[in-house]
Amino acid sequence: MRIVLLGAPGSGKGTQAALLVERLGLPHISTGALLRDAIKRGTRLGLAVKEITEKGELVPDDVMSDLVKERLGRDDAADGFILDGYPRTLEQAKVLDAILEELARPVEVAILIDVDADQIIKRIELRAEEEGRSDDTVDVLRNRMRVYQEKTAPVADYYADRGLLTRVLGSGTRDDVLERILSVLQVDAAN
Ligand code: ADP
């Protein structure tokens, strides 16, 4: 299964990706995690993107293309993947299609986790306390939400136009949301 997970910052996208990975045994490809790892290791990529991510801005599309192309080309992605945090712009969605076309492995389903803005602010404040991520302060969050509305929300329409998008309600417990996603994927939740 080749799955793209979409959702605003704080929608629970990363959490659901981790639960799905456990359930489905697919690799979790999180561009945010790849970037944070590069920053931690102080690689050239990490140094180039540190300031951008700390402001809640998007890393340039061409930088992301190289990173994603390399990751999707690895053997473990051959039997499917859960892509989390990419694509975040229409341009990235087109690049992703081109990469996957070359590999003859197109996106099969895009799932958008829908959560309202008030709930997201509450969740992010909690996460900021728990994890201490430098891009989780309230100001940066506001910026990330704005960037999401402007640049990433249209990506959902891109997949809807292709008949690949399903919206899933992001409220309730993590297991509630997981069950909704598994039913979209037609995986029996009891397994
Ligand atoms: P969240 O899931 O909380 O929205 P991520 O962990 O996916 O955040 O990403 C953290 C930061 O990494 C983003 O705010 C952005 O700066 C950068 N980033 C991650 N993925 C991309 C992408 N596809 N394009 C551009 N920047 C990205």
pLDDT of res. 10: 84
Nearest to 188 by CA among 23, 10, 35: 23
Residue 182: pLDDT band with limits 50, 70, 90: very high
Which atom belonging to ligand 1 lies closest to the Cα atom of 35? 12
Closest-CA residue, ligand 1 atom 10, reads 32
Contact by Cβ (8 Å): 118, 128: no
Other CB atoms within a 10 A radius of the CB of residue 77 amount to 18
Q: Is the pTM of this model over 0.75?
A: yes
Most confident of 26-40, 107-121, 176-190: 26-40
Contact by Cβ (8 Å): 61, 11: no
Contact by Cβ (8 Å): 76, 21: no
Interval 87-120: pLDDT, tens: 999 999 999 999 999 999 999 999 999 998 788 8
pLDDT of res. 178: 97
**Dist. CA 78–CA 104, nearest whole Å:** 10
Q: Given a cut of 60, is residue 191 above it in pLDDT?
A: no
Interval 77-90: pLDDT, tens: 999 999 999 999 99
Is any atom of ligand 1 closer than 6 Å to the C-beta of 59?
Answer: yes
Tally the residues of the chain: 191
